[in-house]
């Protein structure tokens, strides 16, 4: 069983912001798995799909970004998810806009949502798929930038990045080795 978590903020006013790219990528994962977000549990909106007969849980924490780890920890405990079966999707200001980077482990970097996940679960050795949002032309404080809406002219770029991130997450959940997934989807 795999748990794929897309980080974001649950209110509609955040839907089109950079900080919700993890939520959008989770939506793409659910679509690829022919699953729908039908239930709420463990402080998350959850969709259940199957790959090769194995259940895959796709979740969007409803705890807001900075407390995402609470929901992730609860879901991991409920479904007995090991670190090797966890994939987290999120926006990352440290990467250029539209880039996707997959890693098997690491730190939270500048991301408060990931900081919460690592603190609440007590682990950092889990797959993470980062979607780059840094725009060299934007000259506003980071907190304002991540909560600003994606510009219309960049929407297709970010939609494609979210889809690629979702495809990578589903590939991991299907049993592909992370090195192969990194080769196929990083960039």
Decide if 99 is catalytic.
Answer: no
Bridge partners of residue 6, in order along the sequence: 89
Distance CA 22, CA 35 (A): 17
In this structure, are residues 114 and 73 in contact, taking their beta carbons and an 8 Å threshold? no
- CA 174 – CA 56 distance, rounded (Å): 9
Say how many CA atoms lie within 13 Å of 94 toward its Cβ: 10
Query: Which of 19, 34, 99, 111 is labelled catalytic?
Result: 19
Beta-bridge mates of residue 2: 56
Of 111, 105, 103, 104, the residue nearest 124 (C-alpha) = 105
CB 100 within 8 A of CB 61: no
Known catalytic residues? Answer: 19
């Amino acid at each position: 069983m795999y748990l794929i978590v897309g980080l974001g903020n649950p209110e509609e006013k955040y839907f089109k912001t950079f900080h919700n790219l993890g939520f959008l990528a989770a939506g793409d994962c659910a679509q690829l798995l022919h699953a729908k977000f039908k239930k709420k549990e463990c402080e998350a909106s959850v969709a259940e799909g199957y790959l090769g007969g194995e259940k895959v849980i796709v979740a969007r924490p409803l705890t807001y970004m900075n407390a995402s780890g609470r929901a992730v920890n609860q879901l991991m405990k409920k479904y007995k998810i090991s670190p090797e079966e966890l994939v987290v999707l999120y926006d990352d200001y440290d990467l250029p806009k539209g880039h996707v980077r997959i890693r098997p482990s690491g730190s939270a970097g500048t991301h408060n949502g990931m900081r919460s996940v690592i603190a609440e679960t007590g682990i950092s050795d889990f797959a993470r798929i980062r979607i780059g949002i840094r725009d060299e032309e934007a000259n506003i404080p980071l907190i304002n930038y991540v909560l600003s809406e994606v510009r219309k002219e960049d929407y297709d770029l970010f939609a494609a990045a979210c889809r690629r991130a979702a495809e990578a997450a589903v590939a991991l959940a299907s049993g592909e080795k992370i090195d192969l997934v990194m080769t196929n989807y990083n960039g």
